[in-house]
């Protein structure tokens, strides 16, 4: 399966600056997410349901996120990939708190990082900007209007990074709270995917 999102004018240049954003020689996918994708019960049992859900919501497990980027064709390029945490960090308008460690459960994470993470979140709250659909994020303005709905009622704002701790854990970066941590790659609710490539 190949995901094709082309937006070219007659002369081959990208039309609409909102499909791709370039920051420091890295191109970032900047297409709308559909985090409110609705499906009928029949659609949920179709063989291509996951493909349809991926295209609409782009909230998937880590391996699916990698596959999505590797198969993405956008702006005439097919060498898209998951961003490293350093690359994903450039999408944000504030510094990131890295809550990393060897923890295997929430209690271990909390013991090592929870207080510092809470202080960090309190510090960056004034920098959250609201989008047209009600997302409250700390992303650069170029990305804001195409982001999924993430706010107090829909707080899941984690995006996959390419960084792995081991075969079970990969890094996610929360674009609402500017906190990065290890997340189980096969976590049921997944995380969002935003692809990038070197310019």
pLDDT for res 52: 62
Q: Per-residue pLDDT tens for 105-136?
A: 888 888 999 999 999 999 999 999 999 999 99
Rounded Cα–Cα distance for residues 138 and 16 (Å): 23
Q: What is the pTM of this model?
A: 0.82
How far from 195 is each of 5, 52, 53, 103, 181, CA to CA, in Å? 12, 18, 17, 27, 19
The Cα–Cα gap between 173 and 97 comes to: 9
Phi, psi (rounded to 5 degrees) for 22: -105, 130
- Rounded to whole angstroms, the Cα distance separating 196 from 30 reads 9
- Over residues 43-99, the pLDDT tens digits come to 556 666 666 666 668 999 999 999 999 999 998 999 999 999 999 999 999 999 999
CB atoms within 10 A of CB 151: 16
Q: Yes or no: say if 146 and 75 are a contact pair by the CB < 8 Å rule.
A: no
Helices of type H across the chain: 41-44, 49-57, 62-71, 85-89, 106-109, 115-124, 141-144
Q: Cβ of 112: how many Cβ atoms within 10 Å?
A: 15
Q: Does residue 19 contact residue 143 with C-beta atoms inside 8 Å?
A: no
């Amino acid at each position: 399966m190949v995901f094709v999102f082309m937006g070219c004018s007659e002369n081959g240049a990208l039309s609409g600056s909102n499909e791709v954003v370039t920051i420091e020689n890295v191109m970032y996918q900047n297409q709308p997410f559909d985090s409110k994708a609705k499906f009928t019960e029949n659609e949920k049992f179709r063989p291509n349901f996951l493909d349809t859900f991926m295209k609409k919501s782009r909230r998937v497990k880590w391996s699916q996120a990698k596959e999505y980027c590797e198969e993405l064709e956008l702006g005439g390029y097919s060498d898209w990939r998951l961003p490293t945490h350093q690359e994903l960090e450039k999408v944000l308008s504030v510094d990131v708190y890295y809550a990393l460690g060897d923890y295997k459960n929430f209690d271990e994470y909390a013991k090592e990082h929870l207080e510092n993470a809470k202080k960090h979140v309190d510090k960056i709250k004034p920098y959250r900007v609201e989008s047209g659909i009600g997302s409250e994020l700390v992303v650069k303005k170029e990305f804001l209007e195409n982001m999924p709905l993430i706010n107090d009622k829909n707080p899941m704002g984690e995006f996959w990074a390419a960084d792995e701790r081991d075969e079970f854990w990969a890094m996610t970066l929360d674009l609402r709270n500017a906190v990065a941590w290890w997340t189980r790659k096969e976590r049921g609710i997944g995380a969002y995917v935003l692809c990038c490539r070197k310019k």
